[in-house]
Structure 1
Amino acid sequence: METRLDTARIRAARAVIDPVFLDTPFYECEALPFDSRVSIKLETANPVRSFKGRGTELVVDGLEGNAAVCASAGNLGQALAWSGRKRGLDITVVASRFATPAKLDRIRALGATLELVDGDHELARDRAAEIARTTGIRLVEDSLDLETCEGAATIGLELLASGVAFDTVLIALGGGAMATGIGHVLKDLAPSVEVICVQPAGAPAMTLSWHERRVVTTESTNTIADGVAGRRPIPEVLTDLLHVADDAVLVEESSIISGVRLLATHASLVAEPSAALGLAALLENPTRFANRHVVTILCGSNTNPPDHHRWLQPEPMVV
């Protein structure tokens, strides 16, 4: 595979990652109302309620020094705080003050120092890099740092170890750690499986970049899927993604909300908007996936309760 990732290292990573993040539930969810078979890989049943702990466990295991800083929309920050607290490390997380309040509260509760910026995630990235430069501590860059990608890649190993045959995997696309990680494993070990990345139309930078085969940045984002709302793709990550993704698609906000609602009403699962991107793609193009066995990764469940309650309300009838 012509990516930065290495399958042997990914296999070895399982021995480093805390077992609480491994071997997550994987099952066919027959109650979901699709013509295709839909299976869910549930990455929310862990202390940080997202897949990010797989990567941060690798980061802190190899950390030189006793401190690290990252920028986060919320989930990476929680995971790094959790992994760092377990090892007695000093963790600083930089986030937008407009990030989901529940995510920010949890970062604080996990003992990290939280710094808020008056801007979006890209401004938080810039501030985290500045802190690292001035203090000399480790800057953890999601998706650029191989640990974050290869940690996420262990999800792919578990999908294949299940022995269940499937045709397509729908993966939420933001910075690219999960998409490149799982994509690498599948293309290396099960190349016939179709890897499709899904991103909100309101935050399309990485998808546009994949289609144009060059980095495309955007001026702003406008999506409820805050976990994937980046504007500046990382060139090295795009290069990896071009090797492992078969397609990258954009979905509308209404479809994302419908996906969150479907997971709650038909599967009793709480999903943050980023985790519902796979179902949004199924809703928008059902014929593409008809009669196929589709896997989607439920990658996070850190929602703001008032927002989640609003998304679950029935759609108004059109008269």
Structure 2
Amino acid sequence: MLLTGADVEKAVAELAGVIRRTPMIASRVLSERTGADVWLKCENLQRTGSFKPRGAYLRISRLSDSERARGVVAASAGNHAQGVAWSATELGIASRVYMPEGASLPKIAATKAYGAEVILAGETVDDALVEAQRHADRTGAVLIHPFDHPDVVAGQSTVGAEIVEQLPGVSTVVVPLGGGGLLAGVAAAMRASRPDVEVIGVQAVQAAAWPASLAANHPVPAVSMNTVADGIAVARPGDVPFEHVSEYVDRVVTVSEEELSTALLLMLERAKMVIEPAGAAGVAATVGGLLDLSGTVCVVLSGGNIDPLLLRHVITHGLTAAGRFLTFTATVSDRPGGLLALLELLRDQGASVLDVVHSRVADDLYLGEVQVTVSVETRGPDHQLSVRRALGDAGFLREDSR
């Protein structure tokens, strides 16, 4: 089941003229922070906004005439849905996509716009996949799995082939990891032409099935699936990707929700790249101190499809993690001028007030006191520490909240 160099070359030839050759962009900020020469492979600029059409198109294009006549069906929270919808429409094939009931409205709308019939089913992608399989069994439609098929992995391997051509001196490739199709494909391409290149997969720690799976030497379901990175929130690694990852990938690391949010914010501010949390996983590992990097490094930005509402939430989360937002609860005098004294202190400290909420009913308040919860903009962790110290010295913070 392992892809060969010939399989990768064939996939490249079949997708030529169909799939965009995405840019490879030097990242000054990541290079400065790591000491390596870091480049970004921008799959967020691929058709439909992610790498997914590579595998979906190749898989669907290889169907027989009788299979095409029965149509295709898929299950996805967003990126695979759009990849299948676009690919099927390009090939003149009917498609149906099952999506979780909580899927983002922009991703549902985009999938419909690419030509698929969308059915909302269940709370998770796994629930939707059950319904997609039932539809396939009932109608004969071909199920297009998001990652667990050799043709899908072969399609994703073209990302690796492009990396080798665009960055001949590459020494390390860092890839977001969910079900494993992208990492498996990139690793297969590297082992076929550049076996000296280190290949690293990155998962969200809140949806990390791969470390336990690799330790057990077989796919093991994740214990938790609570991550903002829905694009890599997969309950169980695929069998086909697992064989490739266990054979070809050097290591797998995990990143926290705070690291994902901070990485997304960093790409937005410094690289001017809009990416989704899953697409930022490689960046999070690169700047999070998990990897001792040197030489020429390629970080794959796997997708850029993010709901604007989620983007607002993630930006706020990222700013907080980066020390740019501070929320604290202070105790002030209930007499005129009590709140003013607190606000003047924040002004003098250079902290910009965003929000103030009063409460006179907190359990630990004394008569004549008011509790206020204040949110301010700060300039980083050091500035936050300075603000907290000043608040404590002025008596606004209880001893246990300094």
Say if 2:250 is the partner of 1:246.
yes
Q: Could you tell me how far apart the structure 2 residues matched to 1:218 and 1:43 are?
A: 26
Say if 2:56 is the partner of 1:56.
yes
Q: Could you tell me how far apart the structure 2 residues matched to 1:188 and 1:152 are?
A: 14
Residue in 2 that maps onto 1:4: 2
Residue in 2 that maps onto 1:43: 43
Q: Could you tell me how far apart the structure 1 residues matched to 2:17 and 2:28 are?
A: 28
Say if 2:92 is the partner of 1:94.
no
Q: Aligned to 2:22, which of 21, 24, 45?
A: 24
Q: Could you tell me how far apart the structure 2 residues matched to 1:287 and 1:75 are?
A: 28
1:6–1:154 distance in 2 versus 1, CA, 3 Å:
same
In structure 2, stretches of 5+ residues that fail to align are 327-383, 389-402
Q: Could you tell me how far apart the structure 2 residues matched to 1:264 and 1:110 are?
A: 27
1:312, distance to aligned residue in structure 2 (A): 2.5
Q: Could you tell me how far apart the structure 1 residues matched to 2:3 and 2:75 are?
A: 22
CA RMSD of aligned residues (A): 1.7
Q: Could you tell me how far apart the structure 1 residues matched to 2:242 and 2:291 are?
A: 28
Q: Could you tell me how far apart the structure 1 residues matched to 2:164 and 2:173 are?
A: 12
Say if 2:274 is the partner of 1:270.
yes
Q: Could you tell me how far apart the structure 2 residues matched to 1:61 and 1:214 are?
A: 30
Say if 2:228 is the partner of 1:224.
yes
| TM-score (ref. length: structure 2) | 0.75
Greater alpha carbon shift after TM alignment, 196-205 vs 225-234: 225-234
Residue in 2 that maps onto 1:75: 79
Secondary structure of 1:232 counterpart: coil
Q: Aligned to 1:279, which of 259, 270, 283?
A: 283
1:18, distance to aligned residue in structure 2 (A): 5.6
1:114–1:18 distance in 2 versus 1, CA, 3 Å:
farther
1:249-293 per-residue CA deviation (whole Å, 9 max, x = no partner) reads 11100000011001000000000011100111123226622x332
Max radius of gyration: which structure? 2
Q: Could you tell me how far apart the structure 2 residues matched to 1:255 and 1:104 are?
A: 28
1:207, distance to aligned residue in structure 2 (A): 3.1
Residue in 1 that maps onto 2:312: 309
1:131, distance to aligned residue in structure 2 (A): 0.9
| TM-score (ref. length: structure 1) | 0.94
1:295, distance to aligned residue in structure 2 (A): 0.9
Amino-acid identity (%): 29
Secondary structure of 2:254 counterpart: strand
Residue in 2 that maps onto 1:34: 33
Q: Could you tell me how far apart the structure 1 residues matched to 2:115 and 2:99 are?
A: 15
Looking at both structures, which has the greater relative contact order when contacts are Cα pairs under 8 Å and sequence separation is at least 6?
1
Residue in 1 that maps onto 2:303: 300
Q: Could you tell me how far apart the structure 2 residues matched to 1:235 and 1:142 are?
A: 12
How many residue pairs match? The answer is: 316
